[in-house]
């Protein structure tokens, strides 16, 4: 493989000193970029874009052409796994993701098969290797997956949900059925991320978007437990390099110590926790990634710069910080504001 | 005034010993009750129901007829204040609250008048005195208001919002304008709650529904600061009794110590924090109210009972616990499940 020209991101994940704080943005290849919207229009549906390795590669690289980012992230969707399990993912305009089939009963959970990821998700591995090759060592490539709990909520509810009524009824009333489902998902996520690593992903992130909707007890039993299982099953060294794992539970600020105990290398932080407090709580155990409120990108470049400085100061002079937003960049953000954000980090970090 | 026959709730707020843990439910007078839906249909619109003191009294008492609850809460809406400020509140079916006018510019904030609450919100005080009289000392009556930040989000956005883009742009780009708006709101909320207390409210709760959407820094500067100002301005003793204040920031679990420092008597907890951990953090400084996930009410009565027991055990054998849900009861809950929940608390608490 080609030599990596920019290893700031991987060094920071290993809590090694770096010349400046590395930065990438969750959902950096996305609708806020006109070139992304053009590619999306060319590809057809969102899933057409995800399943076409050349197109997925094209949009993955777009933000790197514009901005001095320190990592690329595979362009894909967290719901490719339930789709590969036969649920039939589709997107309703303005409604978000939907599944043709849901998984709600014990029989439906039992009937669910752990897919062979190289077969059913081969298009993702092909995208990873295509992107890795196109990057040519410019920056590292991040692979990712949704967490078992997060995937389960969509599979049980049939799409997005406000209160996760059915998913929560399952964990409370039929915990053994929920555990069977989550275990199948954890096995699949492990295989999926390992296949991405073998295909060229140099770090992986687990997105636990909806773990923060659970009670503290339910989070440990139904979300964290399966992320720990995944971390334990991942390839941690590949091609002569460590492959770091980042755990991101949105609204998980209360549970950082427990997340840091899973064996992961870094925690993704949303913006509700002060990053200095987070560091004091987890110490040198893990690196921290985050944590600017994506809504700050609607403010002026001057304000954005001040907020970047504030977060850098709060983190302090330690190794192990990867700058990022606390959640994905939103479609209405002005690309010039994203630029002001990234430049502020590269200048002040 | 009539003697109070059931003072469990007020005693627990004062962290005095009680015979059993008191219980009430946020939004206990609401759509999950068929008798509420009948009253609502009779009244006309939701605002017709709020502005009619006799009808507001009728629905306030409905849950008390069904369940052995230890407190009544005024039936009203958090958005009566912006409505009294001239923004024109209305409800779009399935869309939630909307305002005819928004407040986005410095000129619009400056033009905003702090209303005379006895004039413009007289219907609320009339509802309070009507309910208090109808209760006849059965249980205490809780008054309430939205927090300044929570009210400001609706006023700036013009209704509900997913990311509070405009409200956040205001606090970040025009902090002095945001402070002027929040100060006007804090003055109004203080007058509003004091008027409710004079009309007969025996405790008050401030609902900071959207404080948890802010960064830790922004929460302190733009939400907590104004709740502190309100707490300092409230009537704390009336008619020979202390009038306790409950502060509830949804998703505020990271900031409990700071909330407890405002001088309030109790903190409302959502379900993401373990109530035992919360108690260890705030000690005997304040009482704690909460904290069952409302989604547990979709589970079986047996599961509901187990979750009640778990929360009681986690809180432990101390004074100062008021049982409640971690957020409002949702419209689709079976009233029999609400009954199972309340009975479990009265039997196990």
- What pLDDT score was predicted for residue A264? 98
Instruction: Identify which has the larger pLDDT, B94 or B342.
Output: B342
Closest CA in chain B for residue A299: B169
pLDDT digit string, tens, across residues B217-248: 999 999 999 999 999 999 999 999 999 999 99
d(CA A138, CA A70): 9
Segment B2-27 shows an average pLDDT of 96
Q: Which residue in B164, B215, B254, B332 has the most chain A C-beta atoms within 10 A of its own C-beta, making it the best mutation to test that interface?
A: B215
The catalytically annotated residue of B32, B36, B67, B154 is B154
- CA end-to-end distance (rounded Å), chain A: 30
* CB–CB contact B271 A215 (8 Å): yes
Query: Is the confidence at residue B2, as pLDDT, over 90?
Result: no
The catalytically annotated residue of B27, B138, B225, B236 is B27
User: For chain A, what is the HEC assignment?
Assistant: CCCCCCCHHHHHHCCCCCCCCCECCCCCCCCCCHHHHHHHHHHCCHHHHHHCHHHHHHHHHHHHHHCCCCCEECCCCCCHHHHHHHHCEEEECCCEEEECCCCCCHHHHHHCCCCCHHHHCHHHHHHHHHHHHHHCCCCCEEEEEECHHHHHHHHHHCECCCCCHHHHHHHHHCHHHHHHHHHHHHHHHHHHHHHHHHHCCCEEEEEECCHHHCCHHHHHHHHHHHHHHHHHHCCCEECCEECCEEEEECCCHHHHHHHHCCCCCEEECCCCCCHHHHHHHHCCCCEEEEEECHHHHHCCHHHHHHHHHHHHHHHCCCCCEEEEECCCCCCCCCHHHHHHHHHHHHHHC
Q: Which of A165, A272, A299 sits opposite B295 (nearest CB)?
A: A165
Segment B122-127 shows an average pLDDT of 98
Contacts of residue B65, Cβ cutoff 8 Å, sequence gap at least 6: none
Q: How far apart are the CA of A213 and the nearest CA of chain B, in angstroms?
A: 7
**Chain A interface residues (partner B, CB cutoff 8 A):** 163-166, 168-169, 172-173, 212-219, 251, 253-254, 271-274, 277, 293-296, 298-300, 303, 307, 310, 326, 330, 332
Q: Which of A173, A272, A300 sits opposite B254 (nearest CB)?
A: A272
pLDDT digit string, tens, across residues B243-296: 999 999 999 999 999 999 999 999 999 999 999 999 999 999 999 999 999 999
Q: Which of A168, A215, A272 sits opposite B215 (nearest CB)?
A: A272
pLDDT digit string, tens, across residues B75-115: 999 999 999 999 999 988 777 899 999 999 999 999 999 99
* CB–CB contact B295 A212 (8 Å): no
- What pLDDT score was predicted for residue A1? 59
Residues of B in contact with A274 (CB under 8 A): 215-217
A265 carries an active-site annotation: no
The catalytically annotated residue of A70, A77, A83, A265 is A77
Residues of A in contact with B166 (CB under 8 A): 298
CB pairs under 8 A between A and B: 100
User: CA nearest A56: which of A4, A116, A123?
Assistant: A123
3-state SS assignment for residue B73? strand
Query: Is the confidence at residue B200, as pLDDT, over 90?
Result: yes
A226 carries an active-site annotation: no
* CB–CB contact A277 B216 (8 Å): yes
A154 carries an active-site annotation: yes
Residues of A in contact with B163 (CB under 8 A): 294-295, 330
Q: Which of B166, B273, B310 sits opposite A254 (nearest CB)?
A: B273
Query: Is the confidence at residue B156, as pLDDT, over 70?
Result: yes
Q: Which of B168, B217, B330 sits opposite A274 (nearest CB)?
A: B217
Q: Helices A34-43 and A53-66: crossing angle, nearest 10°?
A: 170
User: CA nearest A327: which of A296, A299, A292, A280?
Assistant: A292
Per-residue pLDDT of chain A (349 residues; tens, 9 = 90+): 579 999 999 999 999 999 999 999 999 999 999 999 999 999 988 999 999 999 999 999 999 999 999 999 999 999 999 999 999 999 877 778 999 999 999 999 999 999 999 999 999 999 999 999 999 999 999 999 999 999 999 999 999 998 999 999 999 999 999 999 999 999 999 999 999 999 999 999 999 999 999 999 999 999 999 999 999 999 999 999 999 999 999 999 999 999 999 999 999 999 999 999 999 999 999 999 999 999 999 999 999 999 999 999 999 999 999 999 999 999 999 999 999 999 999 999 8
Closest CA in chain B for residue A271: B215
Q: Where are the alpha helices (DSSP H) in chain B?
A: 8-13, 34-43, 46-51, 53-66, 80-82, 106-111, 117-120, 122-135, 148-157, 165-173, 175-199, 216-218, 225-233, 256-260, 275-282, 301-315, 335-348
The tokens describing A48, both together, are: 């057409």
Percent of chain B with pLDDT over 90: 96
A228 carries an active-site annotation: no
Residues of B in contact with A218 (CB under 8 A): 293
Q: Which of A166, A273, A296 sits opposite B172 (nearest CB)?
A: A296
State the DSSP code for B147.
-
Model-wide pTM > 0.80: yes
A77 carries an active-site annotation: yes
Residues of A in contact with B168 (CB under 8 A): 293, 295-296, 298-299
């Amino acid at each position: 493989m080609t030599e990596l020209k920019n290893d700031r991101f991987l060094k920071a994940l290993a809590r090694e000193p770096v010349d400046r704080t590395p930065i990438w943005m969750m959902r950096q290849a996305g609708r806020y970029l006109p070139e992304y919207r053009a590619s999306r229009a060319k590809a057809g549906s969102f899933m057409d874009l995800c399943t076409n390795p050349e197109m997925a590669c094209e949009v993955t690289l777009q933000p790197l052409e514009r901005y001095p980012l320190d990592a690329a992230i595979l362009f894909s969707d967290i719901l490719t796994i339930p789709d590969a399990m036969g649920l039939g993912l589709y997107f309703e305009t303005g409604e978000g993701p939907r599944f043709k089939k849901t998984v709600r009963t014990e029989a439906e959970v039992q009937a669910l098969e752990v897919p062979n990821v190289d077969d059913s998700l081969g298009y993702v591995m092909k995208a990873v290797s295509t992107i890795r090759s196109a990057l040519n060592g410019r920056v590292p490539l991040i692979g990712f997956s949704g967490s078992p709990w997060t995937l389960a909520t969509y599979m049980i509810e049939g799409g997005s949900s406000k209160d996760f009524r059915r998913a929560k009824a399952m964990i409370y009333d039929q915990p053994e059925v929920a555990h069977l489902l989550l275990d199948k998902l954890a096995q699949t996520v492990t295989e999926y991320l390992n296949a991405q690593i073998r295909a060229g992903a140099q770090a992986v992130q687990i997105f636990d978007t909806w773990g923060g909707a659970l009670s503290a007890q339910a989070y440990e039993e139904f979300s964290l437990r399966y992320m720990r299982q995944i971390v334990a099953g991942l390839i941690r060294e590949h091609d002569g390099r460590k492959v770091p794992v980042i755990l991101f539970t949105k609204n998980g600020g209360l549970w950082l110590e427990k997340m840091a105990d899973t064996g992961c290398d870094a925690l993704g932080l949303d913006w509700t926790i002060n990053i200095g407090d987070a560091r004091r709580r987890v110490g040198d155990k893990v690196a921290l990634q985050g944590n600017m409120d994506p809504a700050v990108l609607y403010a002026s470049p001057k304000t954005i710069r001040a907020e970047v400085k504030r977060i850098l100061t709060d983190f302090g002079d330690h190794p192990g910080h990867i700058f990022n937003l606390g959640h994905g960049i939103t479609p209405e953000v002005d690309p010039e504001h994203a630029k002001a954000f990234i430049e502020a980090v590269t200048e002040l970090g």
